[in-house]
A and B are shown apart, each in its own frame.
Chain A
Protein backbone atom coordinates (compact mmCIF):
# COMPACT_ATOMS: atom_id res chain seq x y z
CA UNK A 1 0.00 0.00 0.00
CA UNK A 2 1.32 3.43 -0.99
CA UNK A 3 1.82 5.51 2.09
CA UNK A 4 3.73 8.17 3.96
CA UNK A 5 4.53 7.18 7.54
CA UNK A 6 5.31 9.65 10.28
CA UNK A 7 6.43 8.91 13.80
CA UNK A 8 5.54 9.65 16.47
CA UNK A 9 1.87 10.61 16.12
CA UNK A 10 1.89 12.50 19.40
CA UNK A 11 4.79 14.05 21.29
CA UNK A 12 5.02 16.21 24.39
CA UNK A 13 8.44 17.60 25.14
CA UNK A 14 10.15 20.34 27.12
CA UNK A 15 11.74 23.51 25.82
CA UNK A 16 15.25 22.96 24.54
CA UNK A 17 15.22 19.17 24.33
CA UNK A 18 16.23 18.08 20.84
CA UNK A 19 13.76 15.91 18.97
CA UNK A 20 13.36 14.26 15.60
CA UNK A 21 10.16 13.44 13.76
CA UNK A 22 10.67 10.72 11.19
CA UNK A 23 9.01 10.49 7.78
CA UNK A 24 9.23 7.64 5.32
CA UNK A 25 7.54 7.03 1.95
CA UNK A 26 7.33 3.83 -0.09
CA UNK A 27 6.40 5.32 -3.47
CA UNK A 28 9.92 6.14 -4.70
CA UNK A 29 8.95 9.81 -4.84
CA UNK A 30 11.68 12.34 -5.46
CA UNK A 31 9.97 15.25 -3.79
CA UNK A 32 9.27 15.42 -0.05
CA UNK A 33 8.26 18.28 2.21
CA UNK A 34 7.28 19.23 5.74
CA UNK A 35 4.35 21.46 6.72
CA UNK A 36 2.98 22.78 9.95
CA UNK A 37 -0.73 23.35 10.42
CA UNK A 38 -1.96 26.03 12.79
CA UNK A 39 -5.51 27.29 13.36
CA UNK A 40 -6.40 30.13 11.00
CA UNK A 41 -3.13 29.81 9.10
CA UNK A 42 -3.67 26.64 7.09
CA UNK A 43 -0.59 24.65 6.10
CA UNK A 44 2.75 26.38 5.81
CA UNK A 45 5.76 24.77 4.22
CA UNK A 46 8.81 24.39 6.47
CA UNK A 47 11.35 22.65 4.23
CA UNK A 48 11.29 20.65 1.05
CA UNK A 49 13.60 18.31 -0.80
CA UNK A 50 13.70 17.66 -4.52
CA UNK A 51 15.99 14.65 -4.24
CA UNK A 52 18.68 13.01 -2.11
CA UNK A 53 21.01 15.60 -0.59
CA UNK A 54 18.94 18.45 -2.08
CA UNK A 55 16.93 20.46 0.44
CA UNK A 56 15.64 24.02 0.55
CA UNK A 57 13.77 26.34 2.86
CA UNK A 58 10.05 26.82 2.66
CA UNK A 59 8.06 29.66 4.17
CA UNK A 60 8.77 29.06 7.88
CA UNK A 61 12.15 27.29 8.25
CA UNK A 62 13.40 29.03 11.41
CA UNK A 63 14.09 26.60 14.25
CA UNK A 64 13.99 23.49 12.05
CA UNK A 65 16.49 21.30 10.24
CA UNK A 66 16.04 18.50 7.75
CA UNK A 67 18.20 15.94 5.98
CA UNK A 68 17.71 13.71 2.94
CA UNK A 69 20.34 11.00 2.97
CA UNK A 70 18.05 8.39 1.44
CA UNK A 71 15.26 8.85 -1.06
CA UNK A 72 12.57 7.34 1.18
CA UNK A 73 13.35 9.22 4.42
CA UNK A 74 13.05 12.89 5.30
CA UNK A 75 13.35 13.53 9.05
CA UNK A 76 12.47 16.85 10.67
CA UNK A 77 14.80 17.95 13.45
CA UNK A 78 14.09 20.49 16.14
CA UNK A 79 17.45 21.22 17.77
CA UNK A 80 16.05 23.38 20.57
CA UNK A 81 12.25 23.32 20.54
CA UNK A 82 10.31 26.29 21.85
CA UNK A 83 6.61 26.63 22.77
CA UNK A 84 5.86 28.50 19.51
CA UNK A 85 6.69 25.28 17.68
CA UNK A 86 3.70 23.58 19.25
CA UNK A 87 1.74 22.56 16.19
CA UNK A 88 0.46 19.77 13.97
CA UNK A 89 3.13 18.65 11.52
CA UNK A 90 2.66 16.85 8.22
CA UNK A 91 5.13 15.20 5.92
CA UNK A 92 4.22 14.86 2.24
CA UNK A 93 5.73 13.31 -0.86
CA UNK A 94 5.02 13.53 -4.57
CA UNK A 95 6.43 12.70 -7.95
CA UNK A 96 6.76 16.41 -8.64
CA UNK A 97 5.89 18.16 -11.84
CA UNK A 98 2.72 19.74 -13.06
CA UNK A 99 -0.45 18.45 -11.53
CA UNK A 100 1.09 15.69 -9.45
CA UNK A 101 -0.71 15.31 -6.15
CA UNK A 102 0.99 15.25 -2.77
CA UNK A 103 0.53 12.27 -0.46
CA UNK A 104 0.39 13.16 3.21
CA UNK A 105 1.28 11.34 6.38
CA UNK A 106 -1.12 11.08 9.30
CA UNK A 107 0.41 13.99 11.14
CA UNK A 108 2.43 14.50 14.33
CA UNK A 109 0.93 16.59 17.07
CA UNK A 110 3.79 18.23 18.95
CA UNK A 111 3.43 20.08 22.23
CA UNK A 112 6.42 21.96 23.64
CA UNK A 113 6.03 23.01 27.28
Chain B
Protein backbone atom coordinates (compact mmCIF):
# COMPACT_ATOMS: atom_id res chain seq x y z
CA UNK B 1 0.00 0.00 0.00
CA UNK B 2 0.86 3.68 -0.05
CA UNK B 3 3.07 5.21 2.61
CA UNK B 4 4.60 8.55 3.54
CA UNK B 5 7.77 8.94 5.59
CA UNK B 6 8.70 12.21 7.26
CA UNK B 7 11.74 13.16 9.23
CA UNK B 8 11.42 12.78 12.97
CA UNK B 9 10.87 15.86 15.05
CA UNK B 10 10.78 18.02 16.90
CA UNK B 11 12.78 20.50 14.90
CA UNK B 12 13.92 23.59 16.76
CA UNK B 13 15.19 26.58 14.81
CA UNK B 14 16.04 30.16 15.53
CA UNK B 15 14.01 32.86 13.84
CA UNK B 16 15.20 33.58 10.26
CA UNK B 17 16.87 30.18 9.93
CA UNK B 18 16.42 28.00 6.84
CA UNK B 19 13.95 25.16 7.15
CA UNK B 20 13.88 21.78 5.44
CA UNK B 21 11.50 19.00 6.40
CA UNK B 22 12.10 15.84 4.43
CA UNK B 23 9.28 13.75 3.00
CA UNK B 24 9.46 10.65 0.85
CA UNK B 25 6.62 8.52 -0.38
CA UNK B 26 5.79 5.10 -1.77
CA UNK B 27 2.79 4.86 -4.05
CA UNK B 28 1.64 3.36 -7.31
CA UNK B 29 0.48 5.47 -10.19
CA UNK B 30 0.68 9.27 -10.12
CA UNK B 31 -0.37 10.55 -6.71
CA UNK B 32 -0.97 14.14 -5.73
CA UNK B 33 1.21 15.39 -2.89
CA UNK B 34 0.34 17.79 -0.11
CA UNK B 35 1.73 19.56 2.91
CA UNK B 36 -0.74 20.31 5.67
CA UNK B 37 -0.05 22.42 8.76
CA UNK B 38 -1.65 22.06 12.19
CA UNK B 39 -1.43 24.96 14.60
CA UNK B 40 -1.96 24.24 18.31
CA UNK B 41 -5.55 23.35 19.12
CA UNK B 42 -6.68 23.47 15.52
CA UNK B 43 -7.45 21.13 12.66
CA UNK B 44 -5.20 20.62 9.68
CA UNK B 45 -5.17 23.14 6.86
CA UNK B 46 -3.63 22.88 3.44
CA UNK B 47 -0.28 24.63 3.10
CA UNK B 48 0.62 23.69 -0.47
CA UNK B 49 0.20 20.94 -3.03
CA UNK B 50 1.55 19.52 -6.30
CA UNK B 51 -0.31 17.24 -8.64
CA UNK B 52 2.34 16.04 -11.08
CA UNK B 53 6.05 15.46 -11.37
CA UNK B 54 8.28 18.56 -11.31
CA UNK B 55 5.42 20.77 -10.09
CA UNK B 56 6.39 23.20 -7.35
CA UNK B 57 3.82 24.10 -4.74
CA UNK B 58 4.30 27.33 -2.80
CA UNK B 59 2.47 29.35 -0.18
CA UNK B 60 3.41 31.79 2.62
CA UNK B 61 7.12 31.48 1.73
CA UNK B 62 7.07 27.68 1.88
CA UNK B 63 7.94 25.60 -1.17
CA UNK B 64 8.05 21.94 -2.13
CA UNK B 65 8.84 20.27 -5.46
CA UNK B 66 7.35 16.98 -6.61
CA UNK B 67 10.36 14.78 -7.44
CA UNK B 68 9.22 11.54 -8.99
CA UNK B 69 12.75 10.22 -9.56
CA UNK B 70 13.53 10.41 -5.83
CA UNK B 71 9.89 9.99 -4.68
CA UNK B 72 10.27 13.06 -2.51
CA UNK B 73 8.38 16.23 -1.63
CA UNK B 74 10.61 18.12 0.80
CA UNK B 75 9.26 21.26 2.45
CA UNK B 76 11.51 24.34 2.54
CA UNK B 77 11.37 27.90 3.76
CA UNK B 78 14.16 30.41 3.53
CA UNK B 79 13.51 32.31 6.75
CA UNK B 80 11.20 30.94 9.42
CA UNK B 81 9.24 33.04 11.89
CA UNK B 82 7.96 32.30 15.36
CA UNK B 83 4.46 32.15 13.87
CA UNK B 84 5.52 29.14 11.77
CA UNK B 85 5.69 26.98 14.90
CA UNK B 86 3.27 24.13 14.22
CA UNK B 87 3.10 20.48 13.20
CA UNK B 88 3.62 19.79 9.50
CA UNK B 89 2.18 16.75 7.74
CA UNK B 90 3.16 15.41 4.36
CA UNK B 91 0.38 13.52 2.59
CA UNK B 92 -0.57 11.90 -0.69
CA UNK B 93 -3.74 10.88 -2.49
CA UNK B 94 -4.40 9.09 -5.75
CA UNK B 95 -2.14 6.14 -5.12
CA UNK B 96 -3.34 2.59 -4.83
CA UNK B 97 -6.34 3.69 -2.76
CA UNK B 98 -7.64 6.21 -5.27
CA UNK B 99 -8.22 9.91 -4.68
CA UNK B 100 -10.58 9.30 -1.81
CA UNK B 101 -7.75 7.78 0.20
CA UNK B 102 -5.35 10.25 1.80
CA UNK B 103 -2.24 8.82 3.42
CA UNK B 104 -0.45 11.01 5.95
CA UNK B 105 3.02 10.97 7.38
CA UNK B 106 3.48 11.01 11.14
CA UNK B 107 3.99 14.76 11.30
CA UNK B 108 7.00 16.92 12.17
CA UNK B 109 6.75 19.42 14.97
CA UNK B 110 8.54 22.70 14.30
CA UNK B 111 9.42 25.10 17.06
CA UNK B 112 10.88 28.48 16.15
CA UNK B 113 12.51 30.45 18.93
CA UNK B 114 13.09 34.22 18.85
A97 to B101, CA, bound (A): 10
Q: Is the interface of B mostly helix, strand, loop or mixed?
A: strand
Interface string of B51-81 (1 = CB under 8 A from A): 1000000000000000000000000000000
User: Which A positions have Cβ atoms within 8 angstroms of B?
Assistant: 4, 31, 33, 35, 40-45, 48, 50, 58, 90, 92, 96-102, 104-107
Docked-complex contact A33 and B49, CB < 8 angstroms = no
Docked-complex contact A104 and B101, CB < 8 angstroms = no
User: Which B positions have Cβ atoms within 8 angstroms of A?
Assistant: 32, 34, 41-46, 49, 51, 89, 93-94, 99-102, 104-107
Pick the contact of B100: A31, A40, A42, A90 (CB < 8 A). Answer: A31
Docked-complex contact B42 and A102, CB < 8 angstroms = no
